[in-house]
């Protein structure tokens, strides 16, 4: 599980592949944090690779972005 911190209230998180495809979208759990279980929208484990995590506020404005590497054990 990946913890995403420093978020504004009521964020939506999008996890994107490098080609721009949305792998997963979900609301942040609150308290300035969100957790991604490294699974796609259909519950499959994400493949090894680099992903872009983007946070949007209620108005739909992008408020933060970051890259993450997923390497299964």
The Cα 48–Cα 8 span in angstroms is: 29
> Average model confidence (pLDDT) for the chain?
91
**pLDDT of amino acid 62:** 80
Give the pLDDT confidence score for residue 45 in this predicted structure.
93
Structure-block tokens of residue 61: 């404005």
Given a contact cutoff of 8 angstroms between Cβ atoms, the answer to whether 56 and 49 are in contact is: no
In this predicted model, which residue has the larger pLDDT, 63 or 56?
56
* pLDDT-derived band at 64, boundaries 50, 70, 90: confident
pLDDT in tens, 1-35: 899 988 888 899 999 999 999 999 999 988 889 99
């Amino acid at each position: 599980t990946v913890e995403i911190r420093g978020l504004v209230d009521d964020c939506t998180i999008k996890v994107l592949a490098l080609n721009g495809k949305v792998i997963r979208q979900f609301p942040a759990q609150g308290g300035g944090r969100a957790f991604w279980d490294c699974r796609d929208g259909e519950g499959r484990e994400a493949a090894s690779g680099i992903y872009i995590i983007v946070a949007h506020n209620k108005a739909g404005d992008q408020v933060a972005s970051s890259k993450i590497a997923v390497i299964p054990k």
